[in-house]
Amino acid sequence: MSADAMPTSRTRAAMPVLIALSATHLLNDMIQSLIPAIYPIIKEAYSLDFGQIGLMTLTFQAAACLFQPVVGHVTDRRPMPYSMVAGMGFTLTGLMVLAFATSFPVLLAGAALVGTGSSIFHPEATRLARFASGGQQGLAQGIFQVGGQGGSALGPLLAAFVVVPRGQASIAWFSAAALLAIALMIWTGRWYADYRARLAARGPSTARPAPPQVASKARIAVTLTILIVLLFSKNAYSSSFGSFYTFYLIERFGVSVQNSQLMLFLFLAAAALGVLLGGIVGDRIGRNRIIWFSILGALPFSLVLPYADLMWTGVLTVIINLIMSSAFAAILIYAMELLPGRVGMIGGLFYGLSFGLGGVAAAVLGEFADVVGIDAVYRACAFLPAVGLLAWFLPKIREGSLPGH
């Protein structure tokens, strides 16, 4: 039986499992988002430049990029229900390293450990969400992703009210979140193992075999490349905010560190709503339409943003991220439907490679900011959503032509 075989009939989504997965995704990504949220603190404490800030983002995201596709490929062949627990163990260790680091290289090591934990978590959690979907893949991925986006938004908010006033060592307090995530992962891992055992006991007649490929290998490779580039353009734009938005607000508008973190929270929180709505609507109107909406809808606002005042900067960033994030579930499911039976690899590839490339973008943008200034970074990034016009070359998927669509 395929590692990600789906029931033959459309069933009700396992909502308790999806909610628990969403909660673990929230806790995992909340811890991850503490890294860019503490940049203003460590920049001053360690006399770092923007290039070093970008390097720290690159280190964290490269750790996830290098391991996630490998973890996904391995677990496609041999699912590991409790591997997420091991991943959170790496994250917990990274948290403690970041809390008590005394030099920039040690900070890099802590960021790498957190990235490694993320690389282990995402592929298997993505597969588990597909199992629990009951055929409603957009809904399931939307619920799963809203946890991750919500966690990414909470990180800066918690950093503003916990880490900024109490200092770097207070990062260790978030080890409680890692321990809670481990408890939830043990529960969902047990459900996953029991579910697979029940499918195996019923025999092969209850599982739908992987359908034949719907396109040539070359066409699939080109389509996956376009999807990765689309996701990269969105992640590169988001990375410019995650790494440098607080500095931009402080330098251009003179806001306090805490207020800049609050505005970063609003930007990231918009993604949580956008990814959930995009997943639900994508089930109804199709993946292609959602992808196009996320491109054409966001581009006018991103072009105006660098010239807006403080109030409109806040409004526009919320609108942009709300629209851009709506395509994430659609892009991920589109890729899964191209390669049925490779859910872990697809999850690892898209989380790992695209986010890793986002880290490369952050490092390049950091060097760019050191040379030409932070304002110029946002004028240049305003055109990144236009990369999404590559969606023109995506094949039009007829309803039901791909498995699970």
Domain layout of the chain by residue ranges: 15-393
Q: How far apart are CA 395 and CA 335, in angstroms?
A: 12
Domain 15-393 class? mainly alpha
Q: What are φ and ψ of residue 7, in 5° steps?
A: -60, 150
Q: In a 3-state reduction of DSSP, which class is residue 8?
A: coil
Contact present, 121 and 72 (Cβ < 8 Å)? no
| Cα 152 from chain centre | 9
CA dihedral 38, 43, 48, 52 (to 10 degrees): 30
Which is nearest to 40 in space by CA: 349, 263, 190, 247?
Answer: 247
8-state DSSP, 340? T
Phi, psi of 12 (to 5 degrees): -75, 140
**103: number of Cβ within 10 Å:** 9
Angle at which helix 137-158 crosses helix 328-338, to 10 degrees, equals 140
Predicted TM-score (pTM) of this structure: 0.69
- Specify which residues 7 forms β-bridges with: 207
- Give the CA angle between residues 212, 126, 192 to the nearest 5°: 95
User: How many Å apart are CA 195 and CA 127, to the nearest integer?
Assistant: 13
What would the two tokens of residue 207 be?
């599982």
Could you list the pLDDT tens digit for every one of the 405 residues in the chain? 344 444 444 556 788 999 999 999 999 989 988 887 788 788 888 888 888 888 887 888 778 777 777 788 787 888 787 889 999 999 999 999 999 988 999 999 999 999 899 888 888 888 888 888 877 777 788 888 888 878 877 877 787 788 878 888 888 999 999 999 999 999 998 988 888 788 777 765 444 444 444 457 788 888 888 888 888 788 778 777 777 888 889 989 999 887 887 888 888 778 778 888 887 887 788 778 888 888 788 899 999 999 999 999 999 999 998 898 888 778 888 887 787 777 777 777 776 666 666 667 777 888 888 888 888 888 888 888 888 888 888 876 554 444 333
d(C-alpha 87, C-alpha 135), whole Å = 27
